Amino acid sequence: MSDISSKANDPQHIGIIMDGNGRWAKQRGYSRPAGHKEGAKTTRKIIDACQDLGIKYLTLYAFSAENWNRPDVEVRALMELLEFFLSRETKTLIKQRVRLHAIGRIEELPERARKALQKAIDATAEFDEWHLVLALNYSSRNEVLDAVRSLAKAAAAGEVDPDSLEWGDVSQHLYTAGLPDPDLIIRTSGETRISNFLLMQSAYSEFYFTDVLWPDFDREQLEKAIATYRCRERRFGKTGEQLSHPAAST
Ligand code: FPP
């Protein structure tokens, strides 16, 4: 194992677009759901690795709002897998003191999956050090739309003054309210798109793309992504000079 003991400039929050389950299955002559099942095993390993590496927040893109357009059999398999994953993993999450969150239009998930999700969220609600966020029926554009709707209603009711709104007020209406923005976003499988994932929250995130398919992604790959992140200079609009000599800022 490489020496990757946690460092001060490590990411606090990693978001992952877990892509490539279908191709992994196809390469082996398996069905697509078999690829997702293998992907779920990777998910468990990466949760463990994040805890070992001191990553406090992990957000996983598990089902996008657009994924409903897949064949029924695959959608059903993904929902069943979610239910199975939650029933199997909740005990471990409790043992690891990981708090589960969900972002997305959760109310539109099938009842059984929704209930399993709520049960797991309730069972881990007391923890506040480690956080696992599942993006389910998630779409950044829907998230913005839902925030705009809720702010517009509040404005119509005279509860907020539109002219004094700031970004902080808007972000409080996103599904991710209360969660820090991701420092690093990883996408597996060689695709270099963001696919409607955390568009608002990733304004200053670093991106890491790898050809490795999600079922093959492992702790070593995660460490590689973190090592790359450590070499990046996050300037947040400032110059490199300002960052290395803060006194020369003015
Ligand atoms: C994208 O790969 C993956 C998904 C749409 C589903 C992600 C689900 C998992 C990793 C498993 C379950 C996780 C939980 C938390 C229950 P793809 O199917 O688009 O792959 P392809 O591009 O190779 O076809």
Q: What is the pLDDT of residues 47-70, one digit of tens each?
A: 999 999 999 999 999 999 999 999
Indicate the pTM of the whole model. Answer: 0.94
What is the tens place of the pLDDT at every residue in 104-139? Answer: 999 999 999 999 999 999 999 999 999 999 999 999
Determine the distance separating the centroid of ligand 1 and the alpha carbon of 137, expressed in angstroms. 13
Identity of the amino acid at 79 = M
Cβ of 85 closer than 6 Å to ligand 1, yes or no, is yes
The band of 1, judged by pLDDT with boundaries at 50, 70 and 90, is very low
* Cα distance between residue 233 and residue 240, in whole Å: 8
pLDDT at 2 over 50: no
CB-CB contact of 159 with 169 (8 Å): no
**What is the radius of gyration, based on Cα positions, of the chain?**
19
| Atom number of ligand 1 nearest to Cα 191 | 22
Q: Where are the domains of the chain?
A: 13-139+182-231
Residues with catalytic function:
19, 67
When pLDDT is averaged across residues 37-54 and rounded to a whole number, the result is: 98
Contact 57, 133 (CB under 8 A): yes
Q: Which CATH number fits domain 13-139+182-231: 3.40.1180.10, 3.40.50.300, 3.20.190.10, 3.30.110.30?
A: 3.40.1180.10
Q: What rounded mean pLDDT belongs to the chain?
A: 95
State which ligand 1 atom lies nearest to the alpha carbon of 74.
Answer: 18
Q: How confident is the model at residue 233 (pLDDT cuts 50, 70, 90)?
A: confident
In the block, tokens 């999600």 appear at 214
Asked whether 22 lines ligand 1 (CB < 6 A), one says yes
At 3, the pLDDT band (50, 70, 90 cuts) reads low
Ligand 1 pocket residue status of 81, Cβ below 6 Å: yes
In the chain, the percentage of residues whose pLDDT exceeds 90 is 89
CB of 20 sitting under 6 A from ligand 1: yes
